[in-house]
Chain A
Amino acid sequence: MSLPRDPVFPILRDEVVLVWENLIATDYVGESHGYACNEVAVGTTNGAGPVNTQILVLAADGTVLHALPGFWHAEDLADELRFGLQLAALWAAPTPSVEVKRAVFAQAQLDHAAGHSLATTARSGWQGFDRKNELKRLEAGRQRDTFVFDADRSLYALDRRGDPVSKPIDLLVHERLAARPFRPLAAFDVAGFADYGREYYDNNEKVCGEGVTFMTPERVAKHEARQARDAEREAKRRAKAEAKRRKKSEEAARREAARART
C-alpha cells in the first residue's frame, strides 16, 4: 500500500535498484492470509506483519545498510529509505575504516530513532494480539527487547496497571539494527531481526474476508496429514455409529419377534 505512494515512489524509481522476492519458500515466514490486488487494503501500524514482509536496503556487495520489518506508512518508509541512502553513502565512502563505519552506523540508528516525529512514533504502536504474544513470551521467562527497561536496566518499566511497557516498534527496529552494523546479508539473521508479535497476520480479515491463505510446503504437508487423520477419525466414528444403529435395530427386531411369538 505504501510503495506506490509519494514520497516513497520517486525514491524507488530514481534512487535505487529494485528486487522483489517471494518469501513463500523461506522457513521463518509466518502463516498469512493473502489478497488479490483488486481487494480492499487496510491501514495498520508500522512494523505490522514483520515475518511476512521485510524491506532491505543493500549495498552492491551484499552488505545490509538498512532493514524494515512489516508494513510502514508511506511518510515513515520514505524517511527510512532516505536514511538508508545516507548509510549507503557512508558505506561506499573510502574513509573512515570499516570499524569506525560500524560504530557510526550503530549510533546513527539510535539517533535516527530519537529524532522520529510524534506522528511516526504514534504510528509505531503495538497491535493487541502482537503485544499479547510478547507478554506471553515474557511470562514464559524469555528476555524480550520488545519492552522498555527501567533506568537501571534491571527491570521492565511498568505502566499504571502494572503491566510492562511495550517499546515503540520504530525504536525496537533501530535498536535491533544498531546491534547488526553493516552485516553481510548472509550473516544478517532476518528471522531474529523480525522476531516479534504473532506469526499469523491478517489485518484484512474483518474488512474483506476473501483471499487465500499462504502456507509453506511444510505447513501444507502438516495440514494434509491433519486432514487425513481427521478424515480417518470421522470414518471410524461413522462406522461405529452405524454399527450401533444396526445393533439397535436388530435388537428391536428380535424384541418384536419375541413379542409376536408370545
Chain B
Amino acid sequence: MRSMPWFLVVLLGLATAAGCGGTHAKRRRDQSPESPEVAAARAAKEAKREAKAFRKLEVDGAEVIRGVERLTAELRWHRSLETAVPEAQVTGRPIVMVAALGELDGFL
C-alpha cells in the first residue's frame, strides 16, 4: 500500500483538528452563560423597545368609555377634599386625590 506524502497527512490532521475545534468552540459559545454586562445591556434594550411600543399604543374610544364607566360606576369619588377627610378619618385609609384638567366623565 502506498503511503500518503507526509505533508498531506499533516494538512489533513490540521484541518480535522481545526474543524473539530471550531465546532467545540461554537458549542461552548452557545452553552456559555451571558456575561452580566451583556445581559444587562440586552435587558435595557428590551425595556426601551417595550416603552417605545407603549408610546405608540392607541386605545380606541369604546375601550376608553368602558374604562371611564368602570371608574365612575364602581368607585366613589369625592368632589372635594373636605368631604373626603371624614371618610379617611373613619376608615383609616389615605386619600388619593387625582387633580386633572377636566372632568372624569367629560373632556379630559
- A residues near B, CB below 8 A? 1, 3-5, 9, 12-13, 15-24, 26, 29-30, 32, 34-45, 52-60, 62, 65, 73, 81, 84-85, 88, 92, 117-119, 121-123, 125, 185, 190, 207, 211-212, 214
Question: Which residue from chain A places its CB closest to the CB of B53 in the assembled complex?
Answer: A43
Q: What are 5 inter-chain pairs, A to B, with CB distance below 8 A?
A: A5-B67, A9-B70, A20-B78, A32-B102, A58-B95
Q: List chain B residues, Cβ under 8 A from A119.
A: 47, 50-51
Decide: A88 and B94 in contact? CB cutoff 8 A.
yes
Is chain A's interface secondary structure helix, strand, loop, or mixed overall?
Answer: mixed
Q: With A19-B97, A35-B108, A58-B97 in contact, do A40 and B56 touch (Cβ < 8 Å)?
A: no
Q: Once the chains are docked, how many angstroms separate the CA of A185 from the CA of B100?
A: 16
Decide: A85 and B97 in contact? CB cutoff 8 A.
no
B37 in contact (CB, < 8 A): no
Decide: B78 and A19 in contact? CB cutoff 8 A.
yes
Question: Which residue from chain A places its CB closest to the CB of B108 in the assembled complex?
Answer: A34
Q: List chain B residues, Cβ under 8 A from A55.
A: 96-99
Question: Which residue from chain B places its CB closest to the CB of A81 in the assembled complex?
Answer: B96
Q: List chain B residues, Cβ under 8 A from A42.
A: 55-59
Q: Once the chains are docked, how many angstroms separate the CA of A125 from the CA of B19?
A: 48
Q: Once the chains are docked, how many angstroms separate the CA of A17 from the CA of B78?
A: 8
Decide: B58 and A22 in contact? CB cutoff 8 A.
no
Contact partner of B101 among A18, A19, A24, A38, CB < 8 A?
A24
Question: Which residue from chain A places its CB closest to the CB of B95 in the assembled complex?
Answer: A58
B88 in contact (CB, < 8 A): yes
Decide: A59 and B100 in contact? CB cutoff 8 A.
no
Report which residue of B87, B94, B105 has the largest number of chain A beta carbons within 10 angstroms of its beta carbon. B94
Question: Which residue from chain B places its CB closest to the CB of A215 in the assembled complex?
Answer: B101
Question: Which residue from chain B places its CB closest to the CB of A64 in the assembled complex?
Answer: B97
Q: List chain B residues, Cβ under 8 A from A207.
A: 58
Q: Once the chains are docked, how many angstroms separate the CA of A19 from the CA of B80?
A: 6
B15 in contact (CB, < 8 A): no
B27 in contact (CB, < 8 A): no
B31 in contact (CB, < 8 A): no
B6 in contact (CB, < 8 A): no
Q: Once the chains are docked, how many angstroms separate the CA of A1 from the CA of B78?
A: 20
Q: List chain B residues, Cβ under 8 A from A12.
A: 75, 96
Decide: B59 and A1 in contact? CB cutoff 8 A.
yes
Q: Once the chains are docked, how many angstroms separate the CA of A121 from the CA of B54?
A: 13
Decide: A123 and B96 in contact? CB cutoff 8 A.
no
Report which residue of B55, B62, B67, B96 has the largest number of chain A beta carbons within 10 angstroms of its beta carbon. B96
Decide: A18 and B108 in contact? CB cutoff 8 A.
no
Report which residue of B54, B88, B101 has the largest number of chain A beta carbons within 10 angstroms of its beta carbon. B101
- Nearest-CB distance from B56 to chain A (Å)? 7
Decide: B51 and A84 in contact? CB cutoff 8 A.
no
Q: Mark each residue of chain B from 70 to 96: 1 if its CB lies under 8 Å from any CB of chain A, else 0.
A: 110011111111001101110111111
Question: Which residue from chain B places its CB closest to the CB of A18 in the assembled complex?
Answer: B77
Decide: A60 and B100 in contact? CB cutoff 8 A.
no
Q: With A17-B84, A118-B44 in contact, do A3 and B71 touch (Cβ < 8 Å)?
A: yes
Q: List chain A residues, Cβ under 8 A from B47.
A: 117-119, 121-122
Decide: B95 and A40 in contact? CB cutoff 8 A.
no
Contact partner of B51 among A15, A62, A122, CB < 8 A?
A122
Q: A-B pairs with the 3 shortest C-beta distances? A: A43-B57, A34-B107, A4-B67
Question: Which residue from chain B places its CB closest to the CB of A92 in the assembled complex?
Answer: B92
